[in-house]
Amino acid sequence: MISKHDLERLNEFVWQVPREYRADMRVPARMWADEELLDDALQDKSVEQLINTATLPGIVKYAIAMPDIHQGYGAPVGGVFATNTKDGVISPGAVGYDINCGVRVLASHAHAQEIQPHLGDLATTLYRNCPSGVGVSGSINLYGDDLDDILNRGADWTLERGYARMEDLPHTEEYGRIPYADAAMVSHKAKERGRDQLGTLGAGNHFIEVDRISAIYDADAARVLGLFENQVVVQIHCGSRGLGHQVCQDYVDQFQRVVKEYNIVLPDRELVAAPFHSPEGQAYVGAMGAAANFAFANRQVLAFHIRRSFAEVLKGHVKDFDLHQVYDIAHNMAKVEEHDVDGAMMQVLVHRKGATRAFGPNSPVLPDDLKEIGQPVLIPGSMGTMSFILCGTQGSMAQTFGSSCHGAGRVWSRHRAKKEIRGEKLRAEMQERGIQVRAGSMSGLAEEAPQAYKDVSRVVQAVDAAGIGKMVAKLEPMAVIKG
């Protein structure tokens, strides 16, 4: 197994696995981390999985690990790499099963103390109005071509049906609609799984959280985003549900054959890939885009239910409870982008698995009001601890294909967390600290215990210090809603 001696330290926060480390590497691998986070990453198979991505045909510059890297399957979670669109590959397993899993932050204009007396009611109402768990139907009935329409048009469909406000869309990555999405590339099985799941949270590490802003680090960016100290905000963390899982499953299976036809040799079957411009590669691009649109629509419908819940509980009691959208980001996606590779701009396919796009100021893809500060980067921490809002930087553009971290990153297995933590005790501890908890499963709660994760503040501090993101605000939980 790889050790620290195999790494070159390029600066305080960047460590390199040289290309010569393994014969099948096409480029070096670089890890962004402080020394303690690096030690965490070296404990499991994260780095081996990172090195595996460095063998993919057409990969450029270097494979990247974020400070929150942990072991996954295929590519590590917290992994970023870019392939040349001319002769490089696309890998469904390196995007992951939960296509466009992501985070949305909504912000009220109310202070925490105004909401506090109603917090219990609010948590209960959110839990009731936002369906969670598995095999739970969404609150939205889809008819006829509705599902195909959602897959092709994402947030535009939700706007048309009254689930979105016009101003939500520019504050969503890709405006909530992947233009190259193609519902025809999504299997019947995937559609069957998704048909009754719109507006559902799912289970696992997905959640809705009511937070208060406990610190502002960048007053100018906070002003642009409408954030202030002690403000009540809401985070949503979820993705494309069973529909996205089935899309990934379908193409990972299909590519097991394809990879042989194109003579692509890989160290891990989960990394199966097809040339980006091949018919098979393009079919997956269309299907991935469609699953991503489903995820954008899913978070939008959940946002609608959250706004409705706030109104139900707070109307007549609290002024300014209404929620505006701060931003919505994807952290499992592959996207065609232009980046500087060896001094020249090149069109590349950036795979981000458990990593967030973090475009710097003046990026042409950002709406005008966000151009001065860069793209908001939303980083949920482990349950019951803290979360952060950052902005993208020129440093992320230059170093990491415009990418940043996505969360705290696990250090304990779920098995260990279940053995060592009791869900009931964890809930009681959170409730003692004034955090309202509504959860369907106590063992599910235990698996997500904060002890099972790295310290998210350490992760974002490393990101900030390395210049691949800039800290704007810190969020602390008031209520947690989980499947």
Partner 1 sequence: MNRYEEIDHTADWAFRAYGNDLKELFENAAYALFALEGALDAQSTLTREIHVAGIDREALLVNWLSELLFLQETKRETYQKFEIEKLSETELSATVHGAQTQPLTKFIKAVTYHDLRIEQTEKEWQATVVVDV
Instruction: Check binding of 133 to partner 1 (CB under 8 A).
Output: yes
Instruction: Check binding of 154 to partner 1 (CB under 8 A).
Output: no
Positive/negative CA dihedral, 429, 430, 435, 439: negative
Closer by beta carbon to partner 1, 204 or else 469: 204
Task: Select the residue interacting with partner 1 from 36, 87, 192, 372 (CB under 8 A).
Answer: 192
**Site track 73-102 with partner 1 (rule: CB under 8 A), x = hit:** xx--x---------------x--xxx----
Q: Please report how close the Cβ of residue 107 comes to partner 1 at its closest, in angstroms.
A: 29
Task: Select the residue interacting with partner 1 from 14, 27, 62, 71 (CB under 8 A).
Answer: 71
CB 47 within 8 A of CB 2: yes
Closer by beta carbon to partner 1, 188 or else 433: 188
Task: Select the residue interacting with partner 1 from 30, 70, 153, 299 (CB under 8 A).
Answer: 70
Closer by beta carbon to partner 1, 98 or else 218: 98
* Closest residue by Cα to residue 74 from 101, 89, 95: 95
**One-character DSSP codes across 251-299:** HHHHHHHHHHHTT---S-GGG--EETTSHHHHHHHHHHHHHHHHHHHHH
Task: Select the residue interacting with partner 1 from 135, 279, 316, 343 (CB under 8 A).
Answer: 135
* Closest residue by Cα to residue 424 from 452, 453, 444: 444
Q: Please report how close the Cβ of residue 254 comes to partner 1 at its closest, in angstroms.
A: 10
- Cβ atoms within 10 Å of 356's Cβ, excluding its own: 31
Closer by beta carbon to partner 1, 105 or else 421: 421
Spatial distance between the Cα atoms of 57 and 130, rounded to a whole number of angstroms: 42
**Count residues contacting partner 1 (CB under 8 A)?**
46
Q: Which tokens sit at 122?
A: 């609010």
Specify the stretch interacting with partner 1 by CB under 8 A; choose among 161-169, 247-255, 293-301, 339-347. 247-255
Spatial distance between the Cα atoms of 108 and 320, rounded to a whole number of angstroms: 6
Spatial distance between the Cα atoms of 161 and 456, rounded to a whole number of angstroms: 37
Return the residues of window 375-414 that contact partner 1 according to CB under 8 A: 410-414
Instruction: Check binding of 203 to partner 1 (CB under 8 A).
Output: yes
- Cβ atoms within 10 Å of 166's Cβ, excluding its own: 7
Closer by beta carbon to partner 1, 270 or else 312: 270
Residue burial 226-250, b: 16+ Cβ < 10 Å; e: rest = ebeeebbbbbbbbbbbbbbbbbbbb
Task: Select the residue interacting with partner 1 from 118, 165, 189, 324 (CB under 8 A).
Answer: 189
Closer by beta carbon to partner 1, 176 or else 242: 242
Instruction: Check binding of 352 to partner 1 (CB under 8 A).
Output: no
Q: Please report how close the Cβ of residue 351 comes to partner 1 at its closest, in angstroms.
A: 16
Spatial distance between the Cα atoms of 297 and 303, rounded to a whole number of angstroms: 10
Spatial distance between the Cα atoms of 181 and 411, rounded to a whole number of angstroms: 35
Q: What are phi and psi of 462, to 5 degrees?
A: -65, -40
Q: Please report how close the Cβ of residue 289 comes to partner 1 at its closest, in angstroms.
A: 19
Spatial distance between the Cα atoms of 234 and 324, rounded to a whole number of angstroms: 10
318 three-class SS: coil
Q: What are phi and psi of 133, to 5 degrees?
A: 90, -175
Q: Which of 109, 111, 406, 415 is catalytic?
A: 406
Task: Select the residue interacting with partner 1 from 104, 193, 357, 427 (CB under 8 A).
Answer: 193
Instruction: Check binding of 415 to partner 1 (CB under 8 A).
Output: yes
Spatial distance between the Cα atoms of 235 and 264, rounded to a whole number of angstroms: 41
Instruction: Check binding of 320 to partner 1 (CB under 8 A).
Output: no
Closer by beta carbon to partner 1, 71 or else 399: 71
Closer by beta carbon to partner 1, 242 or else 281: 242
Spatial distance between the Cα atoms of 29 and 267, rounded to a whole number of angstroms: 15
Specify the stretch interacting with partner 1 by CB under 8 A; choose among 60-68, 69-77, 207-215, 288-296. 69-77
Return the residues of window 28-57 that contact partner 1 according to CB under 8 A: 44, 46
> Catalytic site residue 111?
no
Spatial distance between the Cα atoms of 385 and 56, rounded to a whole number of angstroms: 37
Instruction: Check binding of 483 to partner 1 (CB under 8 A).
Output: yes
Closer by beta carbon to partner 1, 313 or else 383: 383
Residue with tokens 């993101």: 469
**Site track 269-298 with partner 1 (rule: CB under 8 A), x = hit:** xx-x--------------------------
Task: Select the residue interacting with partner 1 from 22, 229, 365, 440 (CB under 8 A).
Answer: 440
314 three-class SS: helix
Contact residues toward partner 1 (CB under 8 A) are: 44, 46, 70-74, 77, 93, 96-98, 133-136, 189, 192-193, 203-204, 242, 245-246, 248-249, 252-253, 256-257, 268-270, 272, 410-416, 440-441, 443-444, 483
Catalytic residues: 406
